[in-house]
Amino acid sequence: MCEEMLPLLNVYLDGELHGIHLMHLEEHLVTCASCREELEQLRRLSDLLHALPTPQFIPVDRFVANLSLNLPRRSSNARPPRYAAWIWWLVPTGLVFAWFFVQTVLILSGTISLANATNLLGNATAWLSGGTQHTLWFDAMSSVLGSQAGSSPAAFSFLDQLSVFGANLLMQIFWQGVIVLLFWAWLAVWWISRRSQLVQSDASHQRS
Amino acid sequence: MAVNRNAEPELSFIQQAQNGDRDAFGGLVRRYYSDVVNVVYRLCGDSGLAEDTTQEAFLRAWVNLPSFHPQSSLRNWLYRIAVNAALDVLRRRSEDTAGGEKMQGLPDQAVGPETALIEKERVIFLQNAILSLPEACRRVLILREYGELTYQEIAQVLDIPLGTVMSRLNYARNCLRETLKEEWLQTENEYV
């Protein structure tokens, strides 16, 4: 018998030998009597195994009836409905849109404020500012200083516009921070739930 | 290799069963009961134990069904559960019994009592030879011979490499041939 052929004989017997290996073995079997005998013994073994009698098991209907009585409730393992997954992914999508919206609005607002302050576009954008924009400290200073404030209106107005621009910048940073925080919170919740799902799946895999 | 039998209705049954439909699960059990109980019986060597273990396997399948991917092969998934359940049962049982599960080979009633007795002894001998194989090799052999799985499917069910499937199968058959040598000669002499 050819020792190196024995594993191939098993694979051949099971119909799992293909291509060049199959051709090679079949050619070999034609010339090698001991391998043919070996293959015959393997076939006989397989026939012997298949010839083993099978006992009479309980009928399938009775088995199913018994099984149905013992099936546990499965509410905790129920799949979440499909729409829940959509809602879940709506959160980050919504946050990205909100971020774009806030960015656009604040950039436009800042640009217009700057244009008004420097009078770059003349009166073209004055109607957008909704009248004169002043900060609280400008109003307070105006009331305290009264006519004195009007003595240097240009410098005072410039400082006021600069302050409006700074307030816009702060607002921009604030809203971006809020959106980033919300996104991180969502990411943390997603990671925790995903981790628990993996742990559950692993546990059920081990149980099965 | 077993192909998806009535794949379309089966997919529908699986999805319904995943959503908690017990009747749909019953339909799946009807479809795979005989395959599963036969494999479990060959692993256990006892029909009563095989029925109990098969029930345990289907209960586990019901509980874990929501995590099953309907595109996978349900039969292979059930085999995986059944093999694990059978091994759990055998491990528990081996603590109680010293070794060697009993075989209930039924003699053919059509032949004479003496022939039937010889036949029964042969069956017991063969079944005990299977049961005496190392557990890892026995699983592979039974899934191949009685589960009729391909090497690839066995590798998936048992979560082992394809090369390991081949080597274990080779080892199991060699062991059986060694054990059955005398039995074999006897058979040949009978025919001569």
User: Which tens digit of pLDDT belongs to each residue from B124-153?
Assistant: 888 888 988 999 999 999 999 999 999 999
For Cα atoms B150, B154, B155, give the angle at the middle one, nearest 5 degrees.
Answer: 115
Answer yes or no: is pLDDT of B115 > 50: yes
Q: Do B123 and A53 touch (CB under 8 A)?
A: yes
Distance CA B36, CA B85 (A): 11
Write the single-letter amino acid at B68: F
Distance CA A95, CA A18 (A): 56
Q: How many helices (H) and strands (E) does chain A have?
A: 7, 0
Does residue B45 contact residue B102 with C-beta atoms inside 8 Å? Answer: yes
Q: Which residue has the higher pLDDT, A169 or B166?
A: B166
Write the single-letter amino acid at A86: W
Distance CA B171, CA B105 (A): 25
Our CA-based measurement puts residue A90 at a distance from the nearest CA of chain B, in whole angstroms, of 24
For residue B64, the chain A residue with the least C-alpha distance is A204
Q: Best residue in B169, B179, B191 to probe A by mutation, most A CBs within 10 Å?
A: B169
Answer yes or no: is pLDDT of B83 > 50: yes
Our CA-based measurement puts residue A71 at a distance from the nearest CA of chain B, in whole angstroms, of 6
Which of B18, B54, B64 is closest to A66 using CA atoms? B54
Q: Do B34 and A57 touch (CB under 8 A)?
A: yes
Distance CA B174, CA A74 (A): 45
Nearest by CB to B173, from A42, A57, A79: name it: A42
Q: Please classify residue B11 by burial: count the beta carbons closer than 10 Å to its beta carbon, then call 0-12 exposed, 13-18 middle and 19+ buried.
A: middle
DSSP character string of B166-184: HHHHHHHHHHHHHHTHHHH
DSSP character string of B18-75: HTT-HHHHHHHHHHHHHHHHHHHHHHH--HHHHHHHHHHHHHHHHHHGGGS-TTS-HH
Write the single-letter amino acid at A125: T
DSSP character string of B108-152: PTTS-HHHHHHHHHHHHHHHHHHHTS-HHHHHHHHHHHTS---HH
- Give the ipTM of the model, two decimals please: 0.79
Please report the pLDDT score of residue A148 as a whole number. Answer: 54
Please report the pLDDT score of residue A145 as a whole number. Answer: 60
Our CA-based measurement puts residue A186 at a distance from the nearest CA of chain B, in whole angstroms, of 25
Nearest by CB to B177, from A41, A71, A77: name it: A41
Give pLDDT tens digits for B34-57. 999 999 999 988 889 999 999 999
Distance CA A136, CA A129 (A): 16
Q: Best residue in B38, B55, B63 to probe A by mutation, most A CBs within 10 Å?
A: B63
pLDDT tens-digit profile, chain A (208 residues): 577 888 889 999 999 999 998 999 999 999 999 999 989 989 988 998 888 888 889 999 999 999 998 888 875 445 555 566 677 788 888 888 888 888 888 778 777 777 776 777 666 666 655 555 555 555 666 666 655 544 555 555 666 666 666 777 777 788 888 888 998 998 898 888 777 766 665 555 555 5
Q: Do A49 and B145 touch (CB under 8 A)?
A: yes
- CA–CA distances in Å: residue B12 to residues A164, B5, B9, B25: 64, 13, 5, 11
Distance CA B21, CA A142 (A): 77
Q: Do A208 and B26 touch (CB under 8 A)?
A: no
Nearest by CB to A68, from B26, B47, B81: name it: B26
Our CA-based measurement puts residue A78 at a distance from the nearest CA of chain B, in whole angstroms, of 6
| Per-residue tokens: B86 | 């059978």
Q: Kindly tell me the sign of the dihedral angle through the C-alpha atoms of A57, A62, A65, A66.
A: negative
Residue position matching structure tokens 């849109």: A97
Does residue B57 contact residue B81 with C-beta atoms inside 8 Å? Answer: yes
| Per-residue tokens: B146 | 């009685």
Q: Best residue in B53, B77, B145 to probe A by mutation, most A CBs within 10 Å?
A: B145
Q: Do A71 and B22 touch (CB under 8 A)?
A: yes
Our CA-based measurement puts residue A57 at a distance from the nearest CA of chain B, in whole angstroms, of 7
Residues in chain A: 208
How many angstroms separate the most distant Cα atoms in chain A?
122
For residue B62, the chain A residue with the least C-alpha distance is A71
Which of B35, B52, B54, B58 is closest to B146 using CA atoms? B35
DSSP state of A73: P
Q: List phi, psi (to 5°) of B134.
A: -55, 140
DSSP state of A119: T
Please report the pLDDT score of residue B39 as a whole number. Answer: 93
Q: How far is CA A163 from the centre of its chain?
A: 42
For residue A79, the chain B residues in CB contact (below 8 A) are: 18-19, 66
